[in-house]
Amino acid sequence: LRPIHRLLSCPRTVAAEIKREEQSSGSVETGSEGRTPKKTFSEVQKERREQAQRTVLIHCPNKISVKKFLKYLSQHGPINNHFFYESFGLYAVVEFCQKESVTSLQNGTRTPSMGTEAAIPFRSRVFNLKTKNPSNPTSEQSRVQCSIHAPPSSKKLLELLCYAESIDDQLNTLLKELQLTEENTKLRYLTCSLIEDIAAAYFLDCTVRPFGSSVNSFGKLGCDLDMFLDLDEIGKFSANKTSGNFLMEFQVKNVPSERIATQKILSVIGECLDHFGPGCVGVQKILNARCPLVRFSHQASGFQCDLTTNNRIALKSSELLYIYGALDSRVRALVFSIRCWARAHSLTSSIPGSWITNFSLTMMVIFFLQRRSPPILPTLDSLKTLADAEDKCVIEGHNCTFVRDLNKIKPSGNTETLELLLKEFFEYFGNFAFNKNSINIRQGREQNKPESSPLHIQNPFETSLNISKNVSQSQLQKFVDLARESAWILNQEDKDRPSSSRSQPWGLAALLMPSVVNSASLAKRVRKKPASERIKSLLESIKSSSPENATSTNGK
């Protein structure tokens, strides 16, 4: 996190510095910054997975000599990368150059002998480092510098936004402050890799892959870690090796359906996590859900994890979002701001319910950007047209084909500012005919709603499904009302933006304030205007909340 005092003392210089940093940060690692990332989604996944496999997690004493610690570990081989963080104590993430070093470290590690309790001797890649002589600290032992894995507080964020130079700057600042850091991303892949070790005890050669916001480039610090147990790769390679007249098959147990197989597999993995998984606590098996899952907290990393299996379409959705996020630098800035705005007004929640989800909001932003003139994002159908034979992908009968090489997609000629896009987003959805139209990123245009859910967003791959079926009429109405109010606030900003004094939250910061505060400031601003204008605004607001207008969103 950038030190706040620097921003407070010299906002303009630092704002310029942020811009420079942004321009120069072509993070090849995530492949998500810059216009054309060098690596495809699967290349990034493969590289990160391989890195994670030669990485260990070590719980350390609070004070430690980093130099001695690294020297001690180097006995097992050279270290490529390391960082420290705090989560129920001090942890070190240490990435060796070679995988063999991990085995060497494991071979030199003992299982603790317990007092009255008994240890289950499970050899994982999570360790405890003990000092042999704790009562005799050396002068080199000191508090280590920790990387930060939590988002800044709302107060700090609002401060930063108030010091930005423009609304465009505000959106970029928000993105920079909330997006996953390099270390946090590494920790996410490592956690999946640690869970994979446990699952591999039963299903040799299985893969545990992160998906959702941890990898789709829209993840915010603190977001959950969605992972899926991929059993599809098992046995794929050996199948081609057979020659002659015979074919070998594993003798297996059969169950009546794919769903039951999923439930049985997740049930046993859930038990393993609960009994043997170091730091896996609060394991819940939610096997009767539409998509069965095991939910648990991974204490050492601090992540709330959702483990599913048979979820290749969700991984494909993550890849699609990753591509959209990487195509134009405005996409992620806008999505982060809209997600943050929705959270600030309790339009979204961490608890499932009748509210809109972050996934649906992201789809709405993508759709909106496809509707600009000229479009900022291409339709999914046009990404499918650009695909070649190698991109072909059919999952459970659904065609999930789209071009995966970003360099083949023509950049947009649209030069609209983030400020304009934010305002237009609120105006567009504040007036969208939700009662009759469906949002469809495949074709990039409104379609007639095939069913009567208040909000209909077509699932891009399973096209007969609605990803926002859960959203109630009242939640949709709340979204529409807030969108209209936010468009109004931004329009007012245009008119009476103070040039010198910015003691009040302005621009994006004003939109993130609780609505009651907004109402108060709105009332104040309305009062400042001449009577004729006040009456005009009043009439307009009555018109927009009249029953005739409300029917445009109530699905009747």
Residues that bind Mg ion (CB under 5 A): 212-213, 224, 226
Closer CB to ligand GTP, residue 101 or residue 185?
A: 185
Give the torsion through C-alpha atoms of 321, 323, 328, 331, to 10 deg: 10
Closer CB to Mg ion, residue 78 or residue 353?
A: 353
**Residue 51 binds which entry of Mg ion, ligand GTP, none, CB below 5-8 Å type-dependent:** none
Q: Does 271 bind ligand GTP (CB under 6 A)?
A: no
CB of 323 vs ligand GTP, minimal distance in Å: 13
Question: 371 in helix, strand or coil?
Answer: coil
Window contacting ligand GTP (CB under 6 A); options: 132-140, 196-204, 205-213, 259-267: 205-213
Q: Which residue type, as a one-letter code, is found at position 128?
A: N
Q: Which two tokens stand for residue 281?
A: 């606590």
Q: Counting every residue, how long is the chain?
A: 556
Of 317, 379, 382, 453, the residue at the interface with ligand GTP (CB under 6 A) is 317
Q: Does 422 bind ligand GTP (CB under 6 A)?
A: no
Q: Does 191 bind ligand GTP (CB under 6 A)?
A: no
DSSP classification of residue 137? -
Of 85, 324, 355, 359, the residue at the interface with ligand GTP (CB under 6 A) is 359
Q: Does 226 bind ligand GTP (CB under 6 A)?
A: yes
Q: Does 358 bind ligand GTP (CB under 6 A)?
A: yes
Q: Does 419 bind ligand GTP (CB under 6 A)?
A: no
CB of 72 vs Mg ion, minimal distance in Å: 37
Q: Does 357 bind ligand GTP (CB under 6 A)?
A: yes
- Alpha carbon distances (Å) from 501 to 2, 68, 119, 163, 510: 24, 52, 63, 11, 15
Window contacting ligand GTP (CB under 6 A); options: 37-45, 311-319, 323-331, 407-415: 311-319
Q: How far apart are CA 346 and CA 352, in angstroms?
A: 12
Closer CB to ligand GTP, residue 314 or residue 510?
A: 314
**Residue 358 binds which entry of Mg ion, ligand GTP, none, CB below 5-8 Å type-dependent:** ligand GTP
Of 459, 486, 518, 553, the residue at the interface with ligand GTP (CB under 6 A) is 459
Of 158, 314, 361, 508, the residue at the interface with ligand GTP (CB under 6 A) is 314
**Residue 317 binds which entry of Mg ion, ligand GTP, none, CB below 5-8 Å type-dependent:** ligand GTP
Q: Does 310 bind ligand GTP (CB under 6 A)?
A: no
Q: Does 305 bind ligand GTP (CB under 6 A)?
A: no
CB of 226 vs Mg ion, minimal distance in Å: 4
Q: Does 197 bind ligand GTP (CB under 6 A)?
A: no
Q: How many CA atoms lie within 13 A of 234 on its CB side?
A: 15
CB of 308 vs Mg ion, minimal distance in Å: 11
Which neighbouring-strand residues pair with 438? 447
Which residues neighbour 329 within 8 Å (Cβ) at sequence distance 6 or greater? 33, 34, 35
Contact 18, 173 (CB under 8 A): yes
Closer CB to ligand GTP, residue 92 or residue 313?
A: 313
Contact 547, 553 (CB under 8 A): no
Q: Does 440 bind ligand GTP (CB under 6 A)?
A: no
Size of the site for ligand GTP (CB under 6 A): 16
Of 37, 210, 212, 278, the residue at the interface with ligand GTP (CB under 6 A) is 212
Q: How far apart are CA 14 and CA 162, in angstroms?
A: 13
Q: Does 302 bind ligand GTP (CB under 6 A)?
A: no
Q: How many CA atoms lie within 13 A of 206 on its CB side?
A: 23
Q: How far apart are CA 446 and CA 110, in angstroms?
A: 62
Q: How many CA atoms lie within 13 A of 184 on its CB side?
A: 22
Point out the residue whose Cβ comes nearest to ligand GTP. 212
Q: Does 30 bind ligand GTP (CB under 6 A)?
A: no
CB of 220 vs ligand GTP, minimal distance in Å: 6
| DSSP secondary structure of 450-506 | SS--SS-BB-SSSTT-BTTTT--HHHHHHHHHHHHHHHHHHHHHHHH--SS---S--
Query: Shortest CA distance to 272 belongs to which of 124, 481, 390?
Result: 124
Q: How far apart are CA 58 and CA 71, in angstroms?
A: 15
Q: How far apart are CA 81 and CA 94, in angstroms?
A: 6
Closer CB to ligand GTP, residue 69 or residue 461?
A: 461
Residue 351 burial by Cβ neighbours in a 10 Å radius (0-12, 13-18, 19+): exposed
CB of 63 vs ligand GTP, minimal distance in Å: 35
Closer CB to ligand GTP, residue 309 or residue 459?
A: 459
Question: 352 in helix, strand or coil?
Answer: coil
Distance between start and end Cα atoms, the chain = 48
CB of 295 vs ligand GTP, minimal distance in Å: 11
Of 161, 342, 467, 487, the residue at the interface with ligand GTP (CB under 6 A) is 467
Site for ligand GTP, rule CB under 6 A: 211-213, 216, 219, 223-224, 226, 314, 317-318, 357-359, 459, 467
